[in-house]
Amino acid sequence: MAREAGKSAGKAKLPRAKAAKAKAIPVARAKARKPAAQPQAPAALSELESLRKALAEREARLLMLEAQSSMLEAKLQVMREVARTSSSDFSLPEMLELFMDVVLEATRTDAGSLLLVEEGGLRFTVVRGPKSDKLKGQLLPHDEGICGWVARTGEPALTENPQRDSRHSPRISRELGYDAHNILAVPLKGRAGVLGVLQLLNRQGGKPFSHDDMASLESLSVQISMVLENARLFESHQHEIKRLTSLTEASQVLNSTLDLKRLLKLVMELAARTLDAEASSILLKDKKSGDLVFEVATGEKQDVVSTIRVPVGEGIAGWVALNSQSLLVPDVSRDPRFFKQADEKTRFITRDILAVPMTVQGRLIGVAEVLNKRQGRFTLEDQKLLEALAHQSSIAIQNAGLYADLQESFLATVRSLAQAIDAKDSYTAGHAARVTSYTEAICREMGMAAELAGRMRLSALMHDVGKIGVPEAVLCKPGRLTDEEFAAMRRHPAIGAGILGPIEQLSDVIPGIRSHHERWDGRGYPEGLVGEAIPEAGRIIGVADSFDAMTSNRVYRPRLSDEVAIEELKKNSGSQFDPRAVEAFLAAYAKGAVKTEP
Ligand SMILES: [Fe+2]
Task: For 440-460, write each residue's pLDDT tens digit.
Answer: 999 999 999 888 898 899 899
Q: Do domains 84-229 and 425-590 have the same CATH topology?
A: no
- Interval between CA 464 and ligand 1 midpoint (Å): 5
- Interval between CA 467 and ligand 1 midpoint (Å): 8
Give the pLDDT mean for 256-277: 80
- Interval between CA 444 and ligand 1 midpoint (Å): 22
pLDDT at residue 9 greater than cutoff 50: no
- Interval between CA 494 and ligand 1 midpoint (Å): 10
Rounded Cα gap, residues 189 and 193, in angstroms: 6
pLDDT at residue 29 greater than cutoff 60: no
368 pLDDT band (50/70/90 cuts)?
Answer: very high
pLDDT at residue 8 greater than cutoff 50: no
Nearest 10 degrees: Cα torsion 485, 490, 494, 497: 100
- Interval between CA 584 and ligand 1 midpoint (Å): 21
- Interval between CA 353 and ligand 1 midpoint (Å): 56
Helix, strand, or coil here: 190? Answer: strand
pLDDT at 3: 40
- Interval between CA 514 and ligand 1 midpoint (Å): 9
Q: Is the dihedral of CA 227, 232, 235, 237 positive or negative?
A: negative
CATH assignment of 255-393? 3.30.450.40
pLDDT at residue 319 greater than cutoff 70: yes
- Interval between CA 457 and ligand 1 midpoint (Å): 15
Sequence ranges of the domains in the chain? 84-229, 255-393, 425-590
Give the pLDDT mean for 18-42: 50
- Interval between CA 594 and ligand 1 midpoint (Å): 20
Closest CA to 551 of 463, 405, 437, 406: 437
Nearest 10 degrees: Cα torsion 452, 457, 458, 464: 130
90 pLDDT band (50/70/90 cuts)?
Answer: low
Give the pLDDT mean for 483-494: 92
pLDDT at residue 1 greater than cutoff 50: no
Q: Residue 259, class by beta-carbon neighbours within 10 Å (0-12 exposed, 13-18 middle, 19+ buried)?
A: middle
Give the pLDDT mean for 352-374: 91
Rounded Cα gap, residues 534 and 517, in angstroms: 10
Instruction: Select the more confidently predicted residue: 40 or 42.
Output: 42
The CATH label, of 3.40.1350.10, 3.40.50.300, 3.30.1490.190, 1.10.3210.10, for the domain at 425-590 is 1.10.3210.10
pLDDT at 578: 96
Residue 473: half-sphere exposure toward Cβ, Cα within 13 Å: 3
CATH assignment of 84-229? 3.30.450.40
- Interval between CA 424 and ligand 1 midpoint (Å): 14
DSSP assignment letter at 573: B
- Interval between CA 556 and ligand 1 midpoint (Å): 18
pLDDT at 434: 92
pLDDT at 30: 45
- First-to-last alpha carbon distance for the chain, in angstroms, is 191
Single pTM value for the model: 0.45
Rounded Cα gap, residues 467 and 356, in angstroms: 53
Contact assessment for residue 130 and residue 179, using Cβ atoms and an 8 Å cutoff? no
- Interval between CA 274 and ligand 1 midpoint (Å): 52
Give the pLDDT mean for 119-136: 88
Rounded Cα gap, residues 281 and 372, in angstroms: 12
- Interval between CA 465 and ligand 1 midpoint (Å): 8
pLDDT at 21: 45
Mean pLDDT of the chain: 82
- Interval between CA 491 and ligand 1 midpoint (Å): 10
- Interval between CA 258 and ligand 1 midpoint (Å): 31
195 pLDDT band (50/70/90 cuts)?
Answer: very high
Max mean pLDDT range (55-69, 182-196, 215-229): 182-196
pLDDT at 11: 41
- Interval between CA 448 and ligand 1 midpoint (Å): 23
Residue pLDDT, tens place only, 297-309: 887 766 777 778 8
- Interval between CA 370 and ligand 1 midpoint (Å): 51
- Beta strands 109-118 and 193-203 are antiparallel
**Torsion region of 529: left, alpha or beta (phi above 0 gives left; psi -120 to 50 gives alpha):** beta
pLDDT at 178: 80
pLDDT at residue 12 greater than cutoff 50: no
Q: Per-residue DSSP letters for 282-323? A: EEEE-TTT--EEEEEE-STTHHHHTT-EE-TTSHHHHHHHHH
Q: Is the dihedral of CA 400, 406, 407, 408 positive or negative?
A: positive
545 pLDDT band (50/70/90 cuts)?
Answer: very high
- Interval between CA 531 and ligand 1 midpoint (Å): 19
Rounded Cα gap, residues 490 and 486, in angstroms: 6
3-state helix/strand/coil string of 319-365: HHHHHCCCEEECCHHHCCCCCHHHHHHHCCCCCCEEEEEEEECCEEE
222 pLDDT band (50/70/90 cuts)?
Answer: confident
- Interval between CA 445 and ligand 1 midpoint (Å): 23
pLDDT at residue 439 greater than cutoff 90: yes
Give the pLDDT mean for 6-27: 43
- Interval between CA 517 and ligand 1 midpoint (Å): 6
- Interval between CA 591 and ligand 1 midpoint (Å): 26
